[in-house]
Chains A and B, each alone.
Chain A
Amino acid sequence: GNSVTQMEGPVTLSEEAFLTINCTYTATGYPSLFWYVQYPGEGLQLLLKATKADDKGSNKGFEATYRKETTSFHLEKGSVQVSDSAVYFCALSALGAFGNEKLTFGTGTRLTIIP
């Protein structure tokens, strides 16, 4: 079956540091890949996505490239801010039994940025 593995947290960085959160996946076919973010007390929000190999998703200074050869979708940001503190989820989409899109999530990585 499909699965997503992402680096365990928590991750603590100083403001303006470089961020990488690793994500690898196992899937049949050609899934789409996503990063979702969950700020404290809120639900998940889509951060960025990539729908085919070599696509780069980007948003709010975050980037991730769909690498089919390494089955990876690592999240990066060049200079993090305190407001980036949240839990980040890597996910892939595939078809469910009735043709509906179905998301498979990783365990989440808690990121804390200190001033």
Chain B
Amino acid sequence: ETGVTQTPRHLVMGMTNKKSLKCEQHLGHNAMYWYKQSAKKPLELMFVYSLEERVENNSVPSRFSPECPNSSHLFLHLHTLQPEDSALYLCASSQDNPYTGGSSYNEQFFGPGTRLTVL
């Protein structure tokens, strides 16, 4: 048990559907992340929230829309996805201290992921 939970664990959706992925961390962290894991490709960082503000958005298509209502919850809203969006979506959290200028690495704790299949 890593303290980061994700629901659902598996999701199959059509290209016209709208669905949401949910992540919850029970570790008291202040930063949360969405990653995309595709076969034979490096883990891709999608979004970063630090102190509930989005601080990173790696040119992700607008059909993916993140939401961070508080420091413990992170959502990824999906609409009109493409088959190539099928992947494992991983959430992570860490205790971020932006005032140190990143002088020390804070370990990221990952959830088990949501396996998404777009038909």
Contact = CB atoms under 8 A, between A and B. Distances in A.
A51 B102 CA distance: 13
A93 B108 CA distance: 11
What does DSSP make chain A's interface, helix, strand, loop or mixed?
A: strand
A44 B90 contact: yes
Interface residues of B, number: 28
A37 to B, nearest CB: 11
Contacts, number: 72
Contacts of B43: 44, 89, 91, 103, 105, 108
A4 interface: yes
Listed from nearest, the 4 A-B pairs whose CB atoms lie closest are A43-B110, A105-B43, A98-B55, A44-B110
Interface of A: 4, 32, 41-46, 49, 51, 89, 91, 93, 95-108
Interface of B: 2, 4, 31, 40-43, 45, 48, 50, 55-56, 90, 92, 94, 96, 98, 101-102, 105-113
